[in-house]
Amino acid sequence: MDVHTTAGKLSDLDRRLDEAVHAGSQRAIEKQHSRGKLTARERVEMLLDEGSFVEIDELARHRSTAFGLESRRPYGDGVVTGYGTVDGRQICVFAQDFTVFGGSLGEVYGEKITKVMDLAMKTGCPIVGINEGAGARIQEGVVSLGLYGEIFRRNVHASGVIPQISLIMGACAGGHVYSPAVTDFTVMVDQTSNMFITGPDVIKTVTGEDVTMEELGGARTHNTKSGNAHYMGSDEEDAIEYVKALLSFLPQNNLEEAPAYDDASELEFSDVDRSLDTLVPDSPNQPYDMHTAIETVLDDGDFLEVQPLFAPNLVIGFGRVEGRSVGVVANQPMQFAGTLDIDASEKAARFVRTCDAFNIPVLTFVDVPGFLPGTDQEWNGIIRRGAKLIYAYAEATVPLVTVITRKAYGGAYDVMGSKHLGADMNLAWPTAQIAVMGAQGAVNILYRNELAGASDPDARRAELIEEYEDTLANPYIAAERGYVDAVISPHETRVEIVRALRLLRTKRETLPPKKHGNIPL
């Protein structure tokens, strides 16, 4: 074929594009499939609406000549970049291709990612990164590190401006891990994806520890222990479907609202509403599932939980009320009695800040006996790390609606979206106990001497506990002072939340001008 003719030029283009699509060897692709993984292009196709993907920089190639790289210059350089739609809404995307150079990051690879990130920022649309790479491309030297830095800087500048979501679909090692860490949500796949800065071999050499890749940085590890991930997919399709669901609750950018659907709620009480009247047990020590309260107030009971396996004593996630996105933060009495610990505090703080950045109202359900006691918590910084939750609520300017279902004791009462931190509408059930501490602890302190000298300490303690509960451990002292705006029957919760959110759609609140605050990191 004569490349100097028009037909020849067209044929040459077709050849180059075909090479770009098949940059990885057939053997590498088969190996990828044998591990239960898709290729980069297959993942992009699964994420985006059919036929919507527009690739950019398909013919980009590296320029390196060191270590024999000049003889291997595949098109695309190991990363697929472009844009398309998810449910008809525009997003930008990049997918690292493990079948080319093991997905390692080189100069052109990094330039392609920064280019599509810049495009997402210019157009104000979310960006989804599909990650599977073995770290920096050693042959390209320090230029790889430079491009990592360029990506990280763009992640930071985009934070709070456009939604950033990371899918971890395989090995994500070394410098590859920090971009996902800065993004809003990280989704992993059970048994096939992992993240770590230094691998098992290096750890064995330096510390003598024996650890597998799965134990060190597998999906379960990051979803249950480190909190670095927000969801663990059972397979790649499940992970991608979760990302699609996440995007449906998020706006295109911080200047827009999340997608809203015309779904006006009935202000009549349903049987499901009335079932909340029996949710809270008579005994304050008996647990109940806060998911029931959450799902009752959300449209169709549809709740997309975030980080369900991490800090299960606190529940976060997205739902809709009257077709509009809301974020939910709730103590979970089924786990550690709903106490706040370091992990729960940081989990909630980050989520509240995410909702605030993207104009999503926050609903808070409170049943918290306090902060988890213990030397482990104190020595690991619960004072500083728990203060992040105070900071998150106090700086939020989105609508904040709080419902106290049962316990709201001590400093944890303040921290969980209280009126004092700026919540707009605070509601309490008659079962609420808003006090400095629980009845038993308070009685033991207030009446220590009397109980020590009582002929029947247990009977006297029971009397004093009942007296304390009647006097202080109720919602009415707080209601008298306006700390709660209304005490409502549980079955009224959904309707009152609907009314509050209707009112707060036009909320405008401006914080004092400053460069930025100094959150207790």
Lowest-pLDDT range of 29-33, 80-84, 157-161, 477-481: 29-33
411 is catalytic: yes
What CATH number was assigned to the domain covering residues 271-437+473-504?
Answer: 3.90.226.10
How far apart, in whole angstroms, are the C-alpha atoms of residue 503 and residue 506?
7
Which entry of 120, 258, 311, 412 is annotated as an active-site residue? 412
Q: Does the structure show a pLDDT above 70 at 64?
A: no
Q: Does the structure show a pLDDT above 60 at 71?
A: no
Q: Does the structure show a pLDDT above 70 at 218?
A: yes
In the predicted model, what is the mean pLDDT of residues 504-519? 93
Q: What confidence score (pLDDT) does residue 392 get?
A: 98
Which entry of 124, 141, 160, 411 is annotated as an active-site residue? 411
* pLDDT grade for 173, boundaries at 50, 70 and 90: confident
Q: What confidence score (pLDDT) does residue 153 get?
A: 97
Q: Does the structure show a pLDDT above 80 at 261?
A: yes
Give first-to-last CA distance, the chain, whole Å. 63
For residue 89, the number of C-alpha atoms closer than 13 Å in the C-beta half-sphere is: 20
Higher pLDDT, 451 or 475: 475
Q: To which H or E segment does residue 460 belong?
A: helix 457-471
> Checking DSSP bridges between strand 400-409 and strand 89-96, what pairing results, if any?
unpaired
Which entry of 175, 199, 217, 386 is annotated as an active-site residue? 175
Q: Does the structure show a pLDDT above 80 at 151?
A: yes
> Using an 8 Å Cβ cutoff, are 303 and 317 in contact?
yes
Q: What confidence score (pLDDT) does residue 24 get?
A: 62
E strand segments, 218-347: 231-233, 304-306, 314-321, 324-331
All residues at 6 or more sequence positions from 459 whose CB lies less than 8 Å from its CB, including other chains:
none
Locate the domains of the chain by residue range.
Answer: 6-249, 271-437+473-504, 439-472
In the predicted model, what is the mean pLDDT of residues 327-337? 97
Q: How far is CA 308 from CA 38, 131, 302, 333, 335, in A?
A: 25, 22, 15, 15, 12
Q: Which two tokens stand for residue 179?
A: 């971009």
Percentages helix, strand, coil for the chain (3-state, rounded to 5) are 45, 20, 35
Q: What confidence score (pLDDT) does residue 266 get?
A: 83
Q: To which H or E segment does residue 476 belong?
A: helix 476-480
Say what the pTM is.
0.93
Q: How far is CA 450 from CA 104, 439, 461, in A?
A: 71, 16, 10
| Helix 236-249 / helix 40-47 crossing angle, nearest 10 deg | 40
Q: What confidence score (pLDDT) does residue 65 get?
A: 58
Q: What confidence score (pLDDT) does residue 239 get?
A: 97
Q: What confidence score (pLDDT) does residue 35 get?
A: 85
Q: What confidence score (pLDDT) does residue 14 get?
A: 78
Nearest to 428 by CA among 470, 476, 495, 390: 476
Q: What confidence score (pLDDT) does residue 390 get?
A: 98
How far apart, in whole angstroms, are the C-alpha atoms of residue 388 and residue 392?
6
Residue 243: other Cβ atoms inside 10 A: 22
* pLDDT grade for 169, boundaries at 50, 70 and 90: very high
> Checking DSSP bridges between strand 89-96 and strand 54-56, what pairing results, if any?
unpaired
In the predicted model, what is the mean pLDDT of residues 392-419? 97
Q: Does the structure show a pLDDT above 90 at 262?
A: no
Residue 505: other Cβ atoms inside 10 A: 11
Q: What confidence score (pLDDT) does residue 281 get?
A: 96
pLDDT digits (tens, 9 = 90+) for 275-309: 999 999 999 889 999 999 999 999 999 999 999 99
Q: What confidence score (pLDDT) does residue 2 get?
A: 78
How far apart, in whole angstroms, are the C-alpha atoms of residue 344 and residue 331?
9
175 is catalytic: yes
Q: What confidence score (pLDDT) does residue 62 get?
A: 66
Q: What confidence score (pLDDT) does residue 253 get?
A: 98
In the predicted model, what is the mean pLDDT of residues 458-481? 87
3 state DSSP class of 10? helix
Q: What confidence score (pLDDT) does residue 447 get?
A: 84
pLDDT digits (tens, 9 = 90+) for 376-401: 999 999 999 999 999 999 999 999 99
Q: Does the structure show a pLDDT above 90 at 30?
A: no
Which entry of 174, 319, 327, 417 is annotated as an active-site residue? 174
217 is catalytic: no
Q: Does the structure show a pLDDT above 70 at 58?
A: yes
All residues at 6 or more sequence positions from 321 whose CB lies less than 8 Å from its CB, including other chains:
265, 297, 298, 299, 363, 497, 498, 501
Q: What confidence score (pLDDT) does residue 279 get?
A: 97
In the predicted model, what is the mean pLDDT of residues 334-338? 95
How far apart, in whole angstroms, are the C-alpha atoms of residue 250 and residue 185?
12
Residue with tokens 């509960």: 469
In the predicted model, what is the mean pLDDT of residues 34-46? 91
From the CA atom positions of the chain, what is the Rg in Å? 27
How far apart, in whole angstroms, are the C-alpha atoms of residue 142 and residue 148?
10
In the predicted model, what is the mean pLDDT of residues 315-335? 98
Q: Does the structure show a pLDDT above 80 at 20?
A: no
133 is catalytic: no
In the predicted model, what is the mean pLDDT of residues 416-420? 97
Question: CATH topology for 6-249?
Answer: 2-enoyl-CoA Hydratase; Chain A, domain 1 (3.90.226)
> Using an 8 Å Cβ cutoff, are 340 and 407 in contact?
no
Torsion over CA: 511, 360, 224, 279 (sign): positive
Per DSSP, helices labelled H in 358-381 are 375-379
**Average pLDDT taken over every residue of the chain:** 92
In the predicted model, what is the mean pLDDT of residues 501-511? 94
Residue 172: other Cβ atoms inside 10 A: 27
Q: Which two tokens stand for residue 275?
A: 């079932």
Q: What confidence score (pLDDT) does residue 442 get?
A: 85
Q: What confidence score (pLDDT) does residue 138 get?
A: 67
